[in-house]
Amino acid sequence: MERETFFADVLLPLSLSSYYTYRVPYECNGTVTRGKRVVVQFGRKKLYTALVINVHKAAPAGFQPKYILSVLDQAPVVNDFQLALWKWMSSYYLCREGDIMHAALPSALKLTSETKLLQHPSFSKEKMDNLSEKEYVVAEAIDLRKQLTLDEIIAITGQAKVISLVKNLIEKEILVPEEELKEKYFPKKEVHICLSPEYEDEAALEAVFMQMEKKAPRRLDALMLIIQSLRSLPPGKPLRRSELTRNDKGLSAQLNALHSAGIITMHEKSVSRITEAEDIREFPEIVLSSEQQLALDEIRNHLLNTRVVLLHGVTSSGKTEIYVQLIRQAIAEGKQALFLLPEIALTTQIINRLRVHFGNSVVVYHSRYGANERAEVWDLVNLWTPEQGAAPGSIVLGARSSLFLPFSKLGLIIVDEEHDTSFKQHEPSPRYHARDAAIYLAGLHNASVVLGSATPAYETMFNAESGKYAYVSLNSRYGDMELPEVLIADLKEDTIRKKMKSNFSSLLFHEIQQTLTAARQVILFQNRRGFSLRLECRDCHWIPECKHCDVTLIYHKKSNHLRCHYCGYNTRLPDACPACGGTHIGMKGFGTERIEEDISLLFPGVRVARMDLDTTRSRHSYQKIINDFEDRNLDILVGTQMVTKGLDFDHVSLVGVMNADTMLAYPDFRSHERSFQLIAQVSGRAGRKNEKGRVIVQTFKPDHPVICAAAAHDYFTLYKAQLRERANFRYPPFYRLIRITVKHKESAVLDKIAASYAAILREKFPGSVLGPEYPFVSKIRNYFLKDIILKFERNARLKSKKELLDDVTERFFRDSPPVKIAIDVDPV
DNA sequence: AGCACGCCGACT
DNA sequence: GTCGGCGTGCTC
C-alpha cells in the first residue's frame, strides 16, 4: 500500500504570528489529529509541546519541515469550541494565539525540554589530563553520575557562568548535550492496605496472633490496629498507609514486616486529588423567597430568547440560591455549568455552599491551585460526556482562567460580581476580560449567561438598558434584612474642631465603642496598600523612591524595610536622610498597619487583625483570618479591597470606610463608578438577620455626588449622571478604548518613537488618537512607559480597525529602534 | 521563549 | 590584542 505523506500545522505556546508546519512521521499517520499535543523541536535544540491545528497533504514550500517527534495524547485535549474561542480572543484582544495557548493550558500539559549534559561516548580518563582544575571537577562528576544539569554544574564548580566551561568540555569530548523532556504531571499515589485473603479467616488470624504474641508484640499491635481500622472504615473505603503512619513513624517497619510475611497486602494506586470531598447523596431542597422565585422565573423566561441576563441584586439578596437552581436545570438538561468568580479568595466560601447542593460534581479551578490539580480538573472536564450527567467535571467553579477549560457542552455560565475588575487580565497578554469572553464562549455553545452584581458595571447596565441583555432585579435582602444605614463623617469639620482621634472621626470612634460594647464585630476598610505608609524627611521633605520605578517606596513595619510594589525592590530603612543628612525621618499617610496600631492604642485589649496582600500571602493565612473572625476570636478586621468582596459574616454590625476620598481622587474616568461600587460592596458586609447594620464613610467631601449616592443606596442617579459625562467625553460605553503602552529604557528614545508612532496612528485613525502621555506610573523596572489611547465609536466596525491597527503597528515597529509594546483592548 | 550571530567596552 | 556584554532576528 502506498504510504501517504501528511503535514501538520501546529500552534506553539509562544508569542508567534503563525502556525508552524511539521511533517507527520508515517507511523503516526492517523494518530496525529486536531487538538492533540505533539512534541516538536523548535529552533536549534529546544523541544516544545505544540497543539495540532490542521493535518493536510500540502507540502510546504521554501523550507524543509522537521518531523513531529511524538504524539502525547490518545484523544484530543483541546476541542473545537476552545480553538474557536482562542481565534476570537486573538483577533479581539490583538494578541497571538500562542499567548492564549500558553495562558489556557495548565502548565502540567506544556512540557518543555531541559538541557542535560551526558558523558561523551568517547570519554576516557586520558582525556582528563589536560583539563583546568574546574573542568577536571566536572569531568570527575560526569564519570560518576553520568548526567548533569547546568544548575548542578554551577553548584559543583561554584561558578555562576559555566557556559564557556561547558562548551570547552563538549569540544574536549568530555560532555555531550541532550535535550530531555520532563513530565510535569505526577498522579497522586496512595498505598492501600488490606488483609491478605488467606488471613480473612478467623482461624488463620488466631494462629498468627498466637505466634506473634511472644515473638513480635509490636508487630501484633500493628496488626490489631490494621484490623480495627479496617473494621471502622465505611464499606468501600480503602485503608491508607499514610493514615496509619502519620502519627507513628515507627509503624512503617512493622507494616513492611507484615507485608513481607504475607499477612497484609499493599497496593499502590493513583488517586484523584480533586474529588476528595465526601460525596453527597441527599441534597437539601431549596426554599426560595417569593422575590427569589419571581426573579428566577423572570430569568428563565428571558433566557428563552436572550443569551445574557443581568441579575441586579442588592448585597445579600440571595443570588446564590438562584444560581443553584439555574445550575440544577443545566445539569438536568445534560449540560455543563461554569461559575466564574473574580477572586480566588471567594471560592472557599462559595465552594462550601455549592458542595451542599452538588457534592463532587463541582470542581474548583484557579491559578493558585497546584499544577497537578489543575491538570486533573482539565482531564475531568475533557472526559465528561452528557451521559455522565452530574459527574465531576459537570460544574466548574473558578476564576477567570477556568474559561479555558475543555467544555464540550456548556449550558450555563454565571459571572458573579460581574463588575469586578479582576475579571480583566492585565499582564501578561492575553489581556482579556473573562466576562466578555464568557459571553462569546456561551455563544459558541448556545449557552446562557447570567451576570450577577449588586453594582453592575456601567457597560453592563448600558447593555441591559439598550436591550442587548435582559434585566432582572432583586431588591429586597434575604430574610427581610434591611439595607444598612450609611452615615457620613465629615473629616473637615472634625479636623477643624480638633475632634479627630488619630485617623478616626468622633462619629466612627463612638460607633466602634458602641459596637464593641454590644459584642458585635467591626470591619474597617482602607482603600489600598498603595496608600499605605511611606517615609518622609521632616527637614527637607525627601521621600524614598524606587531605583527602578517611578513610585515611592512603601514602608513595611514587620520587616522594617522599604519596598516597591511594582518591581519588588527591597531596601533597608536609611539611618539618615540621603538628601540632607537629617535623622528626622517620619511616617506619612496611613495604611492598614497604621490603623491596626491605632486601634490597639485607642481601644486597648480589643482583638484586631489585618487582612491585606501582606497578611494573606501564604495559602492558608487568608482562611485563618476569615475563620478567626467568623468564630469571633477577633473584634475588628482591618483590610483593603479584600474585605469588600462577598464575604458573609454573621456578627458584623459596623463597617467603617476610613477614607473615601483617596478613591475618588484616582485619575481615571471610572473613579466614581469604582468608588460607589467599593462603598456599596463593603457596606453590604454590615448587618444580618433582624439587625440593621451601620456604615460610616469618612470623607472631606461630604457633598460629593458619589458619597451622597452611596449614603442613599442610589445606584441609578449616579449611573445616569456618569453616563452623560461619558457621552460628553467620549468614553465607554459609548466609545471603545484601546490602550497601547510603549516601553523603552531611555526616556528620550521612547519620547521620539512614541511621538512618531502616534503621528502615524493619527494619520490612519483621524480624531481617534490621544497621547502619547506618561501614565500614572511612568517607569517600571527601569523601563519608561508612554500610553497612547485609541477611541472608537461603539458601533464602529472594530474588527477592520483592529486589523488595520495590527498592520500599522507591525510595520512601524519592524524598522524602529527596539521598543516593547503592549496593546490592551477595553482596558479597565 | 531561547539561541546564535554580530558589534562595542574592560580586561589578561 | 581578546573575552564577553547584550541588541537583533529567526525558529517549520
Query: Which three-class secondary structure state does DSSP give residue A3?
Result: coil
In the 48-67 segment of chain A, residues within 7 Å (Cβ) of strand C are 60, 63-66
- Relative to beta strand A308-313, strand A470-474 is parallel
Distance A114 CA to B11 C1' (A): 33
Distance from C-alpha of A330 to C-alpha of A485, rounded to nearest angstrom: 38
Give the residues of chain A that fall short of pLDDT 70.
Answer: 1-2, 160, 275-283, 345-346, 478-480, 528-534, 557-558, 588-591, 613-619, 646, 688-689
Grid coordinates given for A472: 432582572
Give the distance, in angstroms, between residue A314 CA and nucleotide B7 C1': 65
Q: Is the CB of A820 under 7 A from strand C?
A: no
Q: How far is the CA of A161 from the C1' of B10 (A)?
A: 18
Q: Can you give the pLDDT at residue A112?
A: 82
Query: C6 C1' – A43 CA distance, angstroms?
Result: 20
- A98 class by beta-carbon count within 10 Å (0-12 exposed, 13-18 middle, 19+ buried): buried
Distance A6 CA to C12 C1' (A): 14
Q: Please state the φ and ψ torsions of residue A824, each to the nearest 5 degrees.
A: -125, 110
Tell me the DSSP string of A568-592. --EEEPPSS-TTT----EEEES--H
Name the nucleotide with the smallest C1'–CA separation from A40: C12
pLDDT reported for residue A529: 45
What is the pairing mode between strands A485-490 and A470-474?
unpaired
Dihedral of alpha carbons A730, A731, A732, A733, sign: negative
Nucleotide nearest the Cα atom of A179 (by C1'): B2
Q: What is the DSSP letter of A778?
A: -
CA A818 to C1' B8, whole Å: 18
pLDDT at A30: 92
Q: How many CB atoms are closer than 10 A to CB A730?
A: 16
Q: Which residues touch strand B (CB under 7 A)?
A: A 14-16, 42-46, 112, 115
Distance A42 CA to C5 C1' (A): 26
Q: Is the CB of A43 under 7 A from strand C?
A: yes
**Cβ of A164 near strand C (distance < 7 A):** yes
The reported pLDDT for the residue numbered A279 is: 58
Strand B footprint nucleotides (protein C-beta < 7 Å) = 1-4
- Which residue, chain included where needed, has cell 451576570? A451
Q: Torsion angle of alpha carbons A340, A342, A344, A350, nearest 10°?
A: -60
Give residues 725-744 of chain A lying near strand C (Cβ < 7 A): none
- The nucleotide lying nearest A428 (C-alpha to C1') is B1
Q: Is the CB of A817 under 7 A from strand C?
A: yes
Distance CA A655, CA A693 (A): 8
The separation, in Å, between residue A156 CA and nucleotide C1 C1' comes to: 33
Q: Which nucleotide has its C1' atom closest to residue A99's CA?
A: B1
Q: How far is the CA of A604 from the C1' of B8 (A)?
A: 66
By CB atoms closer than 10 A (0-12, 13-18, 19+), residue A1 is: exposed
Q: What is the pLDDT, as a whole number, of residue A2?
A: 64
Interval A303-360: pLDDT, tens: 999 999 999 998 777 889 999 999 999 999 999 999 999 977 667 778 888 888 898 8
Burial of residue A415, with CB atoms counted within 10 A of its CB: 0-12 exposed, 13-18 middle, 19 or more buried: buried
DSSP string for residues in A6-40: EEEEEE-SSS-SS-EEEEEPGGGTTT--TT-EEEE
Length A82 CA → C12 C1' (Å):
24
d(C-alpha A538, C-alpha A815), whole Å: 50
The angle formed by the CA atoms of residues A273, A275 and A281, to the nearest 5 degrees, is 165
A42 touches strand C (CB under 7 A): yes
Distance A374 CA to B6 C1' (A): 43
User: Which phi and psi angles does A122 have, rounded to 5°?
Assistant: -100, 25
- The nucleotide whose C1' lies nearest the CA of A20 is C12
Q: What is the pLDDT of residues A25-61, one digit of tens each?
A: 999 999 999 999 999 999 888 899 999 999 999 999 8
CA–C1' span, A780 to B12, in Å? 38
Query: Closest nucleotide (CA of A45 to C1')?
Result: B3
CA of A819 to C1' of C9 (A): 15
pLDDT value of residue A480? 64
Across all strands, nucleotide nearest A13 (CA–C1') = B1
Task: Using the C1' atom of nucleotide C8, identify the protein residue whose alpha carbon is closest.
Answer: A818
Q: Are A515 and A521 in contact (CB under 8 A)?
A: yes
- The pLDDT, as a whole number, for residue A457 is 98
Distance CA A132 to C1' C5 in A: 24
Reduce the secondary structure of A288-355 to three states and give it as a string: CCHHHHHHHHHHHHHHCCCCEEEEEECCCCCHHHHHHHHHHHHHHCCCEEEEECCCHHHHHHHHHHHH
In total, chain A counts a number of residues equal to 828
Q: Are A476 and A441 in contact (CB under 8 A)?
A: no
Nucleotides of C under 7 A from a protein CB: 3-5, 7-8, 10-12
Rounded distance between C-alpha atoms, residue A704 and residue A675, angstroms: 11
Would you call A618 helix, strand, or coil by DSSP? coil
C-beta of residue A89 within 8 angstroms of C-beta of residue A432: yes
Q: How far apart are CA A239 and CA A232, in angstroms?
A: 10
Nucleotide B1: nearest residue by CA–C1'?
A14
* Nearest-angstrom CA–CA distance, A19 and A169: 37
